Amino acid sequence: MTETTRMVIMDDVDRSPAPSAGASEKTLRVLAAALAHPRFTDIVAEAGLAKATVHRILATLVAQEYLGGGAEQGYRAGPTLLALSGRALASVDISSVAAPLVEQLAGEVDCTIHVGVATDSEMVYVIRRDAAKPYRMRSRVGLAVPMHSSGMGKVVLADWAPERVDALAERVGLPRRTDLTITDLDALHEELARVRARGYATDLGENESGTVCVSAPIRDHTGAVTHGLSVSSIELEYPGHTIEELAPAAIAAADRISRQLGAPSA
């Protein structure tokens, strides 16, 4: 056997990890790689399969319209895959997705946990899980709160372009909820810059006197922040900035929910 022949044979050897992947797993690996990389060589490397195997699977995916495009112009999601994706996204209910993780977080930190969804101007509570402690928050599922005064709202606003934040302030204003509410637009932009830098927001009595929270962003399948998660307590229990010690737990839970919603990996 010549060295050239040996190289050709070796190039067509499946490099799947032992035990070797089944046909379905190989197809999924190639599909994911094709959507992530434009070049055929990168798809092969990502899938970890022989070139001939990848080429054959790509041809099948294109024929069945799970992929469009080709090796020269790059692959993209085809109509079959887009239709399936649309149906899958339409069936996603964040309440059912997030509920087990919210329950777990509430048990870990023994604080009230909220999840809220952003509208064009407010945050609306969609989940509330109370702590085991005797006090209760005034919040309720379905209640809407301003974005600028709430931790959940700030993590959403921090993901918006500055011009969109300006337009919101012009449209609905920055109403004062307590003596600590940020009502100056420049001060709000400074606060949002801090949120982006550290990955979480706080509400230290800005929305409701005596109540504090730390909030983390929840991202959808596009990577946009569409929801927020907050860990809330009373100021007597977490005075000053001490609620921030719960930020890592809030971020971890929000990241897990984001992953369940199909958010891209960081």
At 126, which CATH number?
3.30.450.40
Q: What whole-number distance in Å separates Cα of residue 8 and Cα of residue 49?
A: 14
User: pLDDT value at position 96?
Assistant: 82
Q: What whole-number distance in Å separates Cα of residue 204 and Cα of residue 170?
A: 24
Q: Looking at the structure, do residues 69 and 156 belong to the same domain, yes or no? A: no
Q: Looking at the structure, do residues 142 and 75 belong to the same domain, yes or no? A: no
Q: What whole-number distance in Å separates Cα of residue 266 and Cα of residue 259?
A: 10
| CATH number, position 35 | 1.10.10.10
Domain enclosing residue 244, as ranges: 92-260
Please tell me the total count of domains within the chain: 2
Q: Looking at the structure, do residues 158 and 64 belong to the same domain, yes or no? A: no
Q: Looking at the structure, do residues 184 and 76 belong to the same domain, yes or no? A: no
Average pLDDT over residues 232-237: 93
More confidently predicted of 254 and 90: 254
Residue 266 falls inside a structural domain: no
Q: What whole-number distance in Å separates Cα of residue 130 and Cα of residue 10?
A: 60
User: pLDDT value at position 97?
Assistant: 84
- ∠ Cα 154 199 131 (to 5°): 70
Identify the domain boundary among 36, 65, 89. 89
More confidently predicted of 175 and 70: 175
Identify the domain boundary among 73, 89, 105. 89
**For the chain, percent of residues with pLDDT exceeding 90:** 52
User: pLDDT value at position 81?
Assistant: 81
- pTM of the predicted structure, to 2 decimals: 0.71
Residue 78 falls inside a structural domain: yes
Q: Looking at the structure, do residues 82 and 107 belong to the same domain, yes or no? A: no
User: pLDDT value at position 2?
Assistant: 46
Residues 180-207 pLDDT 10s: 999 999 999 999 999 999 999 999 999 9
